[in-house]
Amino acid sequence: MIILKRFSVWVALAGVALAAWVLVGANKVEPMPTPISEPPRSPYEQTVAASGIIEAVNENVRIAPPAAGLITKMFVAVGDQVKEQAPLFQLDDRELRAQLLIRDAAIPPLQAQIDEQKYRIGDLDTQLRRLKSVHDERAVSEDDLKRTWYALEVAKRTQQRLDANLKQAIAQREEITILLDRLTVRAPREGTILQVNVRAGEYATPGASEPLMLLGDTQRLQVRADVDEVNAPLVAPQASGVASLKSMAGTKIPLTFVRIEPYVVPKKSLTGDNSERVDTRVLQIIYRFERPNFPVYAGQQVDVFIQRHPASQAAPATRPAAPRQQEPAP
């Protein structure tokens, strides 16, 4: 009995000790982890912080096929510099080339018929002039003159029909030639191939969510800064700014104001995908910059600090005019 009482006491003491240890551990403050890099700091006394992305001055061009088809050949790769109208990739054109052969084959027979008809018209015209030059009614009858004139008119109408058929055949050949040329997708302007999302042998369709290629001008870059709509009144036109690459506080890029986009838009997620949005609206401000002595790339995210518009100089909010009370009629 005494042994059981002692055992119970020891169990109770152990429980108290365990509870005390748990409470001490729960109240223990974990030390803050050391940051990987120093956070960026604003060079201005009053500032508006914004997130931004580096992009080409000329907006990127999303390359899509003019029609659905199999890609048979690629002419460029990521990073290639291309001139305007340079070929990018080739769609399967075998069917159109077969049609072009048929159109080409239809033209020479029509041209031969037209040449033959010209000779016939010339012969009938000569006959008619000879018949008209004979004044002896016994040698040439009126029926001979009418038959020859009628044959000449029929030959002329036939030539007109053949000429129209030839023009139609040439137009159909030109149409096939234009369609063939469209199957060689070309660069709409000079730039750099930023993305290639397709390979030879794959099937391409228009209207895909992801462009087959992305073309941009990486020689001239700018920063598109997203300022929360709450802070929009604090930013004045011509406000200077500084950008730092993400996780690289020491990389300072002086910014020169270009313009404020006149429309407040929903903020895109950090992925930059148009289909992913967050419940925030932002005012977008465009800044240009000179290339720094460290590498920067289109698509990089940056922390932007914009010199804050002093509150004393901020434009006062205009109150809506109070409705005018109608005076009682006398």
Share of the chain above pLDDT 70, in %: 76
Q: Is the pLDDT of residue 95 over 90?
A: yes
Q: What percent of the chain has pLDDT over 90?
A: 41
Yes or no: say if 294 and 244 are a contact pair by the CB < 8 Å rule.
Answer: no
- The confidence score (pLDDT) of residue 266 equals 87
What is the Cα–Cα distance from 107 to 112, expressed in whole angstroms? 9
CB count, 10 Å around CB of 213? 22
Tell me the average pLDDT across 131-143.
69
**Which pLDDT value is given to residue 327?**
52
pTM of the predicted structure, to 2 decimals: 0.59
| Nearest to 287, CA basis, from 48, 55, 11 | 55
- Distance of alpha carbon 187 from the chain centroid: 12
Burial class from Cβ neighbours inside 10 Å (0-12, 13-18, 19+) for residue 84 reads: exposed
pLDDT band at 123 (very low <50, low <70, confident <90, very high): confident
Higher-confidence position of 25 and 260: 260
Whether the Cβ atoms of residue 305 and residue 43 lie closer than 8 Å to each other: yes
pLDDT at 318 over 60: no
Instruction: Report which of residues 246 and 312 the model is more confident about.
Output: 246
Q: What average pLDDT does the segment 157-164 reach?
A: 91
The answer to whether residue 91 scores a pLDDT higher than 60 is: yes
Please give the mean pLDDT across all residues of the chain.
Answer: 81
Greatest mean pLDDT range, 7-11, 207-211, 212-216: 212-216
Across residues 279-295, what is the average pLDDT? 89
Q: Looking at residue 75, what is its pLDDT?
A: 96
